[in-house]
Amino acid sequence: MWFVVMLVAGLFARAEGDNSNFAKETEVQPVFHVAEGLNADGSLVANYERGLDYAIDYFGNYGPYHIYLLGAKSEASVRAIYRERAATRVDPNSAEPAAKQIDAFLARSNVVEEIDAALKGKAEGGLTWSQPPVRVYEDVTTNATGREWDPIENTWGALHEYHHVFQIAHCDTSQARTSDRHFCSWMAEGMATYSSAKFMENLGLTDFKKYMLELRVSGANIGRPGLNEFLSEGKTVRLDDETYWEEGNSAQVYYMLGAWATAYLIHGLGVDEKTVLKKWYADILRIGKSAAFENHMGLKLGPFYERFDAFIRQSDQEVMRMFDRAP
């Protein structure tokens, strides 16, 4: 269930700015901020790094990237870490003193709510980022105690979130997700859901095909209902409809259907995995996502949606055969 809770914050970020220079790798390494009372034996960070290192090796190093692993045992530690977080966003060229910029960040309602959640042991936060002139990416986990208890989900979460860092670095997040210079929600969530599950199998930590089937049958670790129940009423679903965040069923459409749409591109249509998960993003800012998708996938978005809709409504047995076909 952690995926749905953790990613909404970043996806709804809105601000004006030119993101055209962000699609560049950096030598700056990710920075961990861990609250007191966590990571006593080093396993919390080690299991997170297991996923993060794999993702960076696959996608490249984008940043600065800060990982905030928080817990409820030390209020002083949590508040000190949030002050560190505020400092990373300070614009040295601003006429406003750094101290005022830090205080303004700490006074934001969402930041106040996150601190409160951390001190109460609630699981909130998620991936977010700042807009120009100072760009940072952040994975905020307000209840990292849960990650510490579940090393598999900890690694899985690191993989999923970092795919978003790569995606965000290659589009204009100042524009709406309906813009041609921004990715759709299904592209963000579905591709990251697919990639994290596939990479977990590559790491020997899960069974990818079993997971894809579980998305249909039970909803797996995303939520309930699964795809079969969700689609059983024959309802019309549009992957390019961005209103599911507000109207409900965002988990089923963007994450589950999105993951299966990604799988269909790779296993059903035979598009190279790295093209789907990585290469085509390089052209979004240059020519827009519609043209980039068509150029790399060999199919326009409209016809792709139609073909995928017919495919996904077949039986479990029929859709699962796709994974057994030769690439």
Distance CA 58, CA 54 (A): 6
Backbone angles phi, psi at 45, to 5 degrees: -70, -40
Whether 120 shows a pLDDT value over 80: the answer reads yes
pLDDT of residue 327: 57
Distances (CA, A) of 15 to 11, 174, 182, 281, 321: 12, 5, 13, 21, 44
Residue-wise over 82-120: b if at least 16 C-beta within 10 A, else e?
A: beebbeebbeeeeeeeeeebbeebeeeeebeebbebbbe
User: H or E stretch including 177?
Assistant: none
Percent of the chain with pLDDT over 90: 87
Query: What pLDDT does 144 receive?
Result: 96
Whether residue 307 is predicted with pLDDT greater than 80 in this model: the reply is yes
Tell me the average pLDDT of the chain: 92
Q: Please give the average per-residue pLDDT across 38-62, as a whole number.
A: 98
| Residue 66 pLDDT exceeds 60 | yes
Q: Strand order in 125-129's β-sheet?
A: 31-34, 65-69, 137-141, 125-129
Q: Kindly report, residue by residue over 78-106, the tens digit of the pLDDT.
A: 999 999 999 999 999 999 999 999 999 99
Can you give the pLDDT at residue 22? 64
Dump pLDDT digits (tens) for 260-295.
999 999 999 999 999 999 999 999 999 999 999 999
Instruction: Please report the DSSP string for 101-161 in residue order.
Output: HHHHHHTSHHHHHHHHHHHHT---EEEEEPPTTS--EEEEETTHHHHHH-HHHHHHHHHHH
Residue 1 pLDDT class (50, 70, 90 cuts): very low
On the question of pLDDT at 5 being above 80, the answer is: no
Q: Answer with the residue of higher pLDDT: 104 or 1.
A: 104
> Does residue 6 surpass a pLDDT of 60?
no
pLDDT tens sequence across 146-179: 999 999 999 999 999 999 999 999 999 999 999 9
pLDDT (tens digit, 9 = 90+) per residue, 197-244? 999 999 999 999 999 999 999 999 999 999 999 999 778 899 999 999
- The kind and range of the H/E element at 201 are helix 191-202
Contact 167, 183 (CB under 8 A): yes
Instruction: Note the pLDDT of residue 281.
Output: 96
Percent of the chain with pLDDT over 70: 93
- Which amino acid belongs to residue 202? N
Judge whether residue 34 has pLDDT over 60.
Answer: yes
What does pTM read for this prediction? 0.92
Residue 139 pairs in a beta bridge with 67, 127
CB contact at 8 A, 245 and 239: no
Long-range contacts of 319-322 (CB under 8 A, 24+ apart): 319/216, 319/260, 320/209, 320/212, 320/213, 322/263, 322/264, 322/267, 322/268
User: In this predicted structure, what is the pLDDT of residue 18?
Assistant: 42
Average the pLDDT over 110-136 and give the result: 93
What band does 16 get if pLDDT is binned at 50, 70 and 90?
very low
pLDDT at residue 326, as a whole number = 61
